[in-house]
Amino acid sequence: MTAPRRLHLNAFVMGVGHHEAAWRHPRTDPAATLDVGHYQRIARKAEEGRLDSIFLADGVALAGNVRHNALDHFEPLTLLAAIAAATEHIGLIATASTTYNEPFNLARKFASLDHISGGRAGWNIVTSASEAEARNFGVDRPGHADRYARADDFLEAAVKLWDSWEDGSVLRDTASGVFADTAKIHEVGHEGPFFRVKGPLNISRGPQGRPLLVQAGSSESGKEFAARWAEAVFTAQQTLAEGKAFYADLKGRLARYGRGAGELLVLPGISPFIGSTEAEAERLQEEFQELINPEYGIAQLSHMTGLDLSGHPLDGPLPDGLPETTEGNRSRFELVVGLARREGLTIRGLIGRLAGGRGHRVVAGTPERIADQIQEWFENGAADGFNVMPPYYPGGLDDFVDHVVPILRARGLFRTEYESRTLRGHYGLARPDSRYASFARAGLTEVTA
């Protein structure tokens, strides 16, 4: 008998909250952005709720106007190593760029985190779209297609490196003096259009074999990349119809890569303001909205649209002359412009809509209403779970774990206990074999690209 389908829930951890004015609200402490204990507490609360994982976003430039927002934050892999020591089960997903890293160093870091955490590492793969990031590395920003071509080559090399030590290669035989079976440790000899990597990696295969691979781009290139590589996708849609269309599109691409629909999980973002009544939740949301700084919002919106909006009236519409597309984050550009046009929003109105989730769905309501919306998307082909984005930390996650999760459990939609100690296990995904072991079973002596 087939086991019932269950939700997957990830906590997207961002400073003191996802609302851009969270740092100003009395429910938060803006100094917590650089307090390791703050993040460890959040992770332990997510673990108390038996959530699948926590996720840290990242970029390699100071993004936004730090004059008006708390934008200083830790490098994710470093922070997740500290969180690993304070938790036992929760998955640990870090963002890292394929544009401004090299395969060997990054593969080694994620393998290290997988060992440190006992098999809980995940990589959110990004291609770094901003001009500011390119300037920090003294290069021109690569075009959209070139970034994804480089990412493909990067993943080819990284997967070979994670596989370069077969399972069982480490013997630690003190009597014979043999630490490792070198016949099971392989040079990868990767020769690609962007990278040449000899290998092997200088750390053995992690408990998961490879870290969980996550992706967040929703452009055509991003979806095709996800269909080939990703095992979970973080995405942003505003309506159930949009969610269903994205879900069907992405799942429909998997077959050409020899993958089944269950091998990739779609997790849209949701930012919930939770109250004991609808009115209480709406009042809480309004408190945050009243703290929005229009100057910060204009800068963020200008970045998203690729057009300087600082001279345009706040109570007017988005101006004509917006580009048809952008070499930056195409999917977010299309979402933002589409939202403004569809709902006839002024610039001020659009800033308000984006302040809570940067294009992700923001919902204010009782725990029952939040659970209803999660269930509706899950049961109607729009999501395998959700990337939960509390508007403020730590209280927003506390409310979700204490009040929404029990409702989802009572409805038979979410686990009551962990059934695995690895992130792959939480997501119901198989541990991959090393490609070298597969080659050996086939009686072949070498692995080609």
For 109-161, the pLDDT digits (tens) are 999 999 999 999 999 999 988 888 999 999 999 998 999 999 999 999 999 99
**Residue 215 maps to a domain:** yes
Where does the pLDDT of residue 444 fall: very low under 50, low under 70, confident under 90, or very high at 90 and above? low
- Domain of 382, in residue numbers: 8-282+360-440
Neighbours of 177 (CB within 10 A): 6
Residue 392 belongs to a domain: yes
User: How high is the pLDDT of residue 325?
Assistant: 55
Asked whether residue 292 is assigned to any structural domain, the reply reads no
- Least confident range from 144-153, 160-169, 326-335, 357-366: namely 326-335
Percent of the chain predicted with pLDDT > 90: 75
- Mean predicted confidence (pLDDT) in 419-423: 97
Number of compact structural domains in the chain = 1
> Does residue 244 belong to any structural domain of this protein?
yes
Give the residue-averaged pLDDT of 283-300: 87
Q: What is the pLDDT of residue 433?
A: 93
Is residue 352 included in any domain, yes or no? no
In a domain, 129, yes or no: yes
| 327-347 average pLDDT score | 69
- Residue 99 maps to a domain: yes
CATH number for position 113: 3.20.20.30
Q: Considering Cα of 366, then 368, then 374, then 376, what sign does the dihedral take?
A: negative
288 occurs within a structural domain: no
Structure confidence at residue 291 (pLDDT): 92
447 has a pLDDT exceeding 50: no
pLDDT, mean of residues 213-234: 94
